[in-house]
Amino acid sequence: NAGVTQTPKFRVLKTGQSMTLLCAQDMNHEYMYWYRQDPGMGLRLIHYSVGEGTTAKGEVPDGYNVSRLKKQNFLLGLESAAPSQTSVYFCASSPVGMGKNIQYFGAGTRLSVL
């Protein structure tokens, strides 16, 4: 019963490097989200998707891109990493209908940009 799986769990990048974070969910959820969590700031929405092939900007989208080519996967890309992107990144998913407001989270990816 995997739920939402994020890979990798940890990553260290140098400034200017690129990387992709993968989120996979096995619950057939329509909606998927990427958040970053920083001390004292709670969770801030980066990008989200309301279905396969669709993406939209959240609260803090700059410096990130996303893709949802398959319903179960939601990728977050950093094209040129900056120290300000050091954070813990969480992916979440939620179903349609009555449960659409309940989000299921992955365990997070801890990213350090040097």
Partner 1 sequence: AQSVTQLDSQVPVFEEAPVELRCNYSSSVSVYLFWYVQYPNQGLQLLLKYLSGSTLVKGINGFEAEFNKSQTSFHLRKPSVHISDTAEYFCAVSLASGTYKDIFGTGTRLKVLA
List of residues contacting partner 1 (CB under 8 A): 4, 31, 33, 35, 40-45, 48, 50, 58, 90, 92, 94, 100-108
For residues 65 and 58, is the Cβ–Cβ distance under 8 A?
Answer: no
- Minimum CB separation of residue 106 from partner 1 in Å reads 5
Q: How far is the CB of 72 from partner 1 (least distance, A)?
A: 17
28 closest CA partner among 107, 94, 100, 105: 94
Instruction: Name the minimum Å distance from CB 110 to partner 1.
Output: 9
SS3 83: helix
Report which residue type is found at 14. K
